[in-house]
Each structure stands twice: as structure tokens, then as C-alpha cells.
């Protein structure tokens, strides 16, 4: 058996006191006197556990802020990944802000109406008043067309009914009746709206463009039979049909092309429907052609000479040539009168719809 020195024995005696002192510091209360040694050991073990736990928690507390930052960073990345790429239309709205109502087909317009000089009128065009651009909302374009074909028969009947059986008297012995009218035109128009989309005034426009078309007018010329002869005058020279009824035909053929200048108005009603009106003139490049088809059977000049084509008689040949010259001079006078007005009028009224 080993001997224990006095110093070692003193240290062993002081250990319980140190342990008790540490427990006192730890829990803030003093153990009861004469505490058994087993209890002291339990306190020491609890103290050691608490101390180890604190040591372990210290690095965790230091690392916690860094972990929180990393978690927040991951969340932000996930949020960015979840953001969808804008659609193409949305991209355009972001890059080029504009009025959504300004997109096609807004501004597409269709019209149908009537024109007294061209017949049934229609057009297709584009004018968008919702554009943000100052100039874009003020300009429009139209393809305009008209024809009498669908209503020609009814229109001609109305005209002749209005004239009546007596027709239109041009000489004491002559009258015109049985009118036949046919016309059509095609054109391209540029419309300018000075007031843009301003209420009411925004419907007024100034139009320019180019038109091509034609106007054909035929009529029958009748001689009134008075029991002796039918007389009429051409270029100051008198001619007659001896005791016969005279049937001739007058024709006017007006083909034109040229620039157009006019004005118009769109009056809004409801649901995109508008009443439209156009009035303007075409600066024509050609005057109308006129002709008069006169029968030669029974035709005589003032001297009583027969007027017959392809005759071998020099007197009849001279009378025929004189008659043709008088007819041409009369038609030329008519052409000159029309030539003094080198314009073809266009007036249109109808209903349109703007999408």
C-alpha cells in the first residue's frame, strides 16, 4: 500500500470545496452543509454538461448570420428564376409604349354609297385615330371605286320616266329621249385630317389622289313629223327630211384620267358606323368625244339636193361633204364648250364602318 503524502491529502480534502464553490457560482445558491460526496459529483457532472453545451453553441451562434445570408441569397435566386420572360407583345409595350387601341385592324374602314356622276360607290381604306404619333393619326389612305353597272337599268328607267314621252326638245322639229347612262371610276386617295381625333372636327378631311374612269351617254334623236317635212339646223345650215320620220342617235364618250382634289367629312353615329361625304374634281387630261349618227334616207339640204354618201353625182357629193362639215363644226362647238371646263366632278354620299 502506497503512502499518501500530507500535501496530497490536503489537495484531496480541498476538491469538494472547489466543486461546491463552482456550483454556487453557476446556480446562484449555496449547497446545504454536510452534502454527501455523491451529490457533489452529480453537481460536477451537470456543470460539465452545461459548459460543454455552451462551448458547442458558441460557434453555431457565430455561423448563424452567415447561414441566414446564404438562405436569403438562395431565395432571391429562386425568385429570379421564377420570373417569366415577357411575351413579345408585352416587350413591345415596354420598349415602345403606345396606345393598345392603335394596333391593326383598328382603323380599317369600309364604305358604300352613291355618286350621281359615277354610280354605286365603295371604298376600302385605313385611318387610325388612336396612333400616338401626331402625323400618323392625321393621315389615311383609300382605294375608291364606283360603277353604274348594278343599277344602270333602273337608273336609266328613272331618268326616262322623269323626262317623259315628249323628251327634251333641242329644235322646233327635234327632241331627245331614251337616255342610256353608264359610268365608272377607280382611284387612290390620300386623306389628311387637320384636327386629328378632335371631337367632331376630327371628321373633316382634305383629300388628294389620282382617278381614272369614263362616262358614256347615248340618246335617241327623233324628228317630229308635221305632215310636210322635218327641219333642223347644223352650223347655221338648214336640212330637212321630206315627209319622213327621222331617227338619229347622239353619243358622248368621256374617258378621263388625272389628279383629284377634294374634301369630305365623316360623321360618327354608333358602333363604329359613320356617314361619309366627298366632293371634289378630277383634273382631266382629255375632253369628251361627241358623235351624231344621222340617217341619210330622205335627207335634203336647203336647196332640195339629196344627201347620199358614195354618190357619183358631183352635186350630191358636194352636198354630202357640206353636210359632214356642218355636223363636225356643230360637234366641235360642243367639244369646245366642254373643254372650257376640264374637270370631272365627283360627289359621293354613303355609310362607312371603321374597325
* pLDDT averaged over 10-residue windows placed end to end, the chain, 355 residues: 47 49 49 55 64 54 57 62 50 47 70 90 89 86 93 85 78 78 93 86 92 91 71 82 77 91 89 90 86 84 83 85 88 82 90 88
Q: Based on the fold, state whether residues 178 and 220 are members of the same structural domain.
A: yes
Both 164 and 234 in one domain: the answer is: yes
Residue 93 within any structural domain of the chain: no
- Please indicate, yes or no, if residue 283 is contained in any of the structural domains: yes
Question: Are 198 and 299 contained in the same domain?
Answer: yes
What's the confidence (pLDDT) of residue 53?
A: 58
91: in domain: no
What is the torsional sign of CA 270, 273, 275, 281? positive
Residues 74 and 137 in one domain: no
Question: Structural domain tally of the chain?
Answer: 2
Shared domain check, 140 and 10: no
Indicate if 55 and 125 belong to the same structural domain.
no
Cα distances (angstroms) measured from residue 354 to each of 144, 146, 197, 205, 241: 15, 20, 13, 15, 61
Residues 73 and 110 in one domain: no
pLDDT value of position 200: 75
The predicted model scores a pTM of: 0.62
CATH number of 346's domain: 2.40.160.170
Enumerate the β-bridge partners of residue 230. Answer: 241
Same domain? For 186 and 307 the reply is: yes
Give me the pLDDT at residue 271, please: 81
The three-state secondary structure class of 314 is helix
Both 188 and 263 in one domain: the answer is yes
C-alpha cell at 141: 389612305
Does a cis peptide bond (omega within 30 degrees of 0) precede residue 105?
Answer: yes
Same domain, residue pair 194 and 147: yes
Q: What's the pLDDT at 10?
A: 47
Residue 157's SS3 state is: helix
- Predicted local confidence at residue 142, as pLDDT: 96
What pLDDT score was predicted for residue 6? Answer: 45
219 with 318, same domain: the answer is: yes
Phi, psi of 179 (to 5 degrees): -75, 145
In a shared domain, residues 67 and 120: no
Which residues span the domain enclosing 194?
106-354
Amino acid at each position: 500500500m502506497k503512502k499518501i503524502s500530507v500535501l496530497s491529502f490536503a489537495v484531496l480534502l480541498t476538491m469538494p470545496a472547489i466543486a461546491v464553490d463552482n456550483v454556487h457560482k453557476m446556480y446562484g445558491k449555496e449547497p446545504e452543509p454536510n452534502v454527501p460526496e455523491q451529490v457533489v459529483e452529480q453537481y460536477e457532472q451537470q456543470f460539465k454538461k452545461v459548459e460543454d453545451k455552451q462551448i458547442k453553441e458558441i460557434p453555431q451562434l457565430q455561423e448563424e448570420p452567415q447561414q441566414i445570408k446564404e438562405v436569403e441569397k438562395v431565395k432571391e435566386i429562386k425568385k429570379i428564376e421564377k420570373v417569366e420572360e415577357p411575351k413579345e407583345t408585352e416587350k413591345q409595350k415596354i420598349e415602345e409604349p403606345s396606345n393598345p387601341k392603335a394596333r391593326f385592324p383598328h382603323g380599317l374602314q369600309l364604305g358604300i354609297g352613291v355618286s350621281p356622276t359615277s354610280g354605286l360607290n365603295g371604298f376600302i381604306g385605313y385611318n387610325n385615330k388612336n396612333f400616338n404619333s401626331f402625323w400618323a393619326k392625321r393621315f389615311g389612305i383609300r382605294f375608291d371605286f364606283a360603277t353604274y353597272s348594278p343599277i344602270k337599268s333602273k337608273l336609266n328607267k328613272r331618268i326616262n320616266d322623269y323626262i317623259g314621252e315628249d323628251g327634251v326638245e333641242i329644235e322646233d322639229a327635234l327632241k331627245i329621249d331614251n337616255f342610256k347612262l353608264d359610268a365608272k371610276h377607280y382611284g387612290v386617295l390620300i386623306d389628311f385630317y387637320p384636327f386629328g381625333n378632335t371631337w367632331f372636327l376630327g371628321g373633316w378631311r382634305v383629300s388628294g389622289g389620282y382617278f381614272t374612269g369614263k362616262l358614256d351617254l347615248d340618246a335617241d334623236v327623233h324628228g317630229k313629223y308635221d305632215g310636210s317635212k322635218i327641219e333642223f339646223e347644223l352650223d347655221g345650215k338648214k336640212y330637212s327630211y321630206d315627209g319622213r320620220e327621222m331617227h338619229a342617235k347622239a353619243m358622248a364618250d368621256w374617258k378621263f384620267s388625272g389628279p383629284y382634289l377634294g374634301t369630305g367629312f365623316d360623321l360618327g353615329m354608333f358602333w363604329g358606323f359613320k356617314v361619309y361625304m366627298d366632293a371634289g374634281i378630277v383634273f382631266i387630261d382629255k375632253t369628251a368625244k361627241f358623235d351624231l349618227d344621222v340617217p341619210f334616207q330622205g335627207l335634203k339640204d336647203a336647196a332640195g339636193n339629196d344627201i347620199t354618201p358614195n354618190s357619183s353625182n358631183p352635186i350630191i357629193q358636194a352636198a354630202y361633204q357640206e353636210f359632214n362639215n356642218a355636223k363636225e363644226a356643230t360637234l366641235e362647238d360642243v367639244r369646245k364648250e366642254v373643254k372650257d371646263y376640264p374637270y370631272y366632278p365627283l360627289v359621293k354620299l354613303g355609310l362607312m364602318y371603321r374597325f
